[in-house]
């Protein structure tokens, strides 16, 4: 959760209410992702994108309610940039 605060909340200069909503949305997201991974038998890699997208949308819909259109667009950029990078077939990082 520290990463969310550092990489998303602070750069967006959110007020206390916005910050609370964003932090709770990510807490719920991480909890749902953990439940999903357990239901799939804890796969090593991330779950299938079709399973993750509805959880991401739910998180983003909550966040969108408290941000202006401009801040939401910036949030989307920051969120995407803060995701863990997948390794490509040659062991290097994908961009």
pLDDT, one tens digit per residue, over 53-90 is 999 999 999 999 999 999 999 999 999 998 876 554 44
Tell me what pLDDT residue 94 has.
45
Q: Are 24 and 32 in contact (CB under 8 A)?
A: no
6 found inside a domain:
yes
Tell me what pLDDT residue 86 has.
58
Number of domains into which the chain is organized: 1
Chain-centroid distance, C-alpha 91: 24
75 found inside a domain:
yes
Q: Sign of the CA dihedral 46, 47, 53, 54?
A: negative
CA distance 86 to 92: 9
88 found inside a domain:
no
- Of residues 61 and 94, more confidence is placed in 61
CA distance 87 to 85: 6
Tell me what pLDDT residue 64 has.
98
pLDDT score of 91 more than 90 = no
9 found inside a domain:
yes
Q: Which domain holds residue 45?
A: 2-79
CA nearest to 14, candidates 85, 81, 51, 66: 66
CA distance 64 to 39: 28
């Amino acid at each position: 959760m520290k990463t969310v605060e550092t990489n998303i909340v602070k750069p967006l200069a959110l007020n206390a209410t916005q910050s609370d909503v964003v932090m709770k949305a990510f807490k719920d997201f991480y909890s749902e992702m953990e439940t999903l991974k357990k239901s799939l038998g804890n796969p090593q890699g991330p779950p299938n994108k079709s399973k993750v997208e509805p959880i991401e949308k739910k998180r983003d819909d909550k966040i969108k309610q408290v941000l202006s259109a401009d801040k939401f667009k910036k949030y989307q950029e920051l969120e995407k940039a803060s995701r863990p990078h997948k390794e490509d077939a040659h062991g290097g990082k994908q961009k």
